[in-house]
Amino acid sequence: MSKKIAVFASGNGSNFQVIAEQFPVAFVFSDHRGVYVLERAKNLDVKSYAFELKEFASKAAYEQAIVDLLDRHQIDLICLAGYMKIVGSTLLAAYQGRIINIHPAYLPEFPGAHAIEDAWNAGVNQSGVTIHWVDSGVDTGKIIKQVRVPRLPDDTIESFEERIHKHEYQLYPRVIKELINKN
């Protein structure tokens, strides 16, 4: 029996597209309406849902709506792919051990929303990509797999970022494949 995957994204959705082109994705969820990931989902004929925290009385109510959606689709694995909301206790309680995230740095270096820029500004000679389990912290979950990405002497922040994304597009599908093939 194959595992059912949902992808969560907040913006462009390039990692979602890489995943959806290689695996059957039950749906994509976005915490923003009108973002490009929803257009990508439509183009790939993948079901999509979007609702925003401000539409709910509390974060717990917002996350309960997400849990209900996941339960309705019997999701086995949630892949965060540029999902910029911190997973809260309601979603974590229901799906802990079934949520993975991709982060554009070699954790624990440069956690948070601006990892590539933070690494660049720190002047490091390498950064990386990390896939990790999601826990209650920010980019603190158990690391599944990582790769280093060098910063080349002639890099601009744009070329450095582009190379990090290329590594993301290779690493995330490999990790997902390993996880869905596990018993």
Residue list, annotated binding site = 13-15, 59, 84-87, 101
Place of tokens 């995330």: 172
Q: Residue positions in the annotated binding site for (6R)-10-formyltetrahydrofolate?
A: 59, 84-87, 101
103 is catalytic: yes
Separation between Cα atoms, residue 59 and residue 49, nearest integer Å: 17
Edge-first strand order for the sheet with 48-50 is 48-50, 25-30, 5-9, 77-80, 99-103, 126-133, 143-150
Question: Which of 32, 103, 114, 167 does the annotation list as catalytic?
Answer: 103
Which is nearest to 116 in space by CA: 149, 154, 76, 74?
149
Sign of torsion over alpha carbons 73, 76, 79, 80: positive
Hey, which residues are catalytic here? 103
